[in-house]
Structure 1
Amino acid sequence: MYRKEFFVFDEDRPVPAVIRNYKEKDFSGLIRIQQESFPPPFPSELWWNKEQLHNHVTLFPEGALCIEVNGEIAGSMTGLLVDFDPKHPDHTWEDITDNGYISNHNSNGNTLYVVDISVRPSYRKLGLGKWLMLAMYDVVVHKRLDRLLGCGRMPGYYKKAGEMTPKQYLEAVVKGELKDPVITFLLRCGRTPVKIVDNYLEDTESSNYGVLMKWKNPFHTRILK
């Protein structure tokens, strides 16, 4: 099981924080995080339900992480293991996560796939999302996996959809010409783009596109794609 105690900073003030595996007693708080993190037009049916959360803590508890600040749950991150084939990277969120139920979790998989990461808006200035991502990298290294992988939304794309293709938008974000709330965050966390995925998730702001992004285990010396 995972537990990391450290400090985050509210400007110059240290605030105690803990990243740990979430458990059944946390379910109500985790659902509240989803509701606050993904307000409409994000589809409410994609918020966690208790059956999904039960599967997370049962099938792959190592990939069920939450972060507490001053004893209050402020964010969470969930993953599952998949056997990823770089030659066939296209997928939908529904297929690769079994609609968030992760019943397709493969204990012998080579890749930790990010199902979700969310932080309550009132806590986002503390950098909790990056701390959660770094903790999941720890899991990748501990389990000797090839990589962490996940598709990021690009919720700023709808503002540019009339003048740019998704590829052009991504290139502009990578060059620093544009800033996207999710893709820029993932770049700051050390993730690198693999490709644009069509019809990844029902998401009006992203025009249903996702950006597949990876983090390779630095302790693996063989070439990974």
Structure 2
Amino acid sequence: MTVTLQLEQLSIFPGQRIVLRDVSWQQFEAILKELGDRRASRLVYDDGILEIRMPLPEHERSKILLSDLVKNLLEALDIDFEPFGSSTFKRMDMAKGIEPDECFYIQNHAAMIGKRRIDLTSDPPPDLAIEVDVTSKTQLEVYRALGVPELWRYEAGRLRIDILQSGWYVESPISPTFPDLPLVEILPGFVKMAATAGTRPALKAFRQWVKEHLQK
């Protein structure tokens, strides 16, 4: 006997995830439509396997702070950008889809100004994606297939930067977007500062650090 459940019958608590198998692309699209844009959950689709995650507050605080740090850095360096948050990026021909914690168009920002819908068959993938791994791991295969050139992963107080080279991710000590700054070394410290001193003091201290570093 086959049992059919509606999405509204499923409860996913913070820190938990649900994995559904044998999900067709049409079903994936229908689930995206039913869940809508205003939700806390994150979806990853990879060759018929759909994972629905519900992040913890710890996860959300870290990803928001990292996003704010990047925005402050881009502003300080006078670099144009377009933030796309946790937008859904998908390719039917690859059977892949993902919703990053945060993402930015930087090198390709001009092409994305005013965009309301993303079509990766004609639009570029985000130049920089950020993932915070607390209760689950980032699915690199999906990011690799979609061609995201730079991926930041923050886990257990450590920042890792991966660069897409010849179709594979390679760990890098520096960000090609910000090559003159030791972000792997200093960003985790400001994330930790926010957890003890507060977000505003941490962002203020970061802006001061950037100013001093640029003056050197």
Identify whether the pair has TM-score above 0.5, normalized to the shorter chain.
no
TM-score relative to the length of structure 2: 0.33
Compare CA radii of gyration and give the structure with the larger one.
2
Q: Which has the higher strand share?
A: 1
TM-score relative to the length of structure 1: 0.32
Higher relative contact order (CA closer than 8 Å, sequence separation 6+)? 1
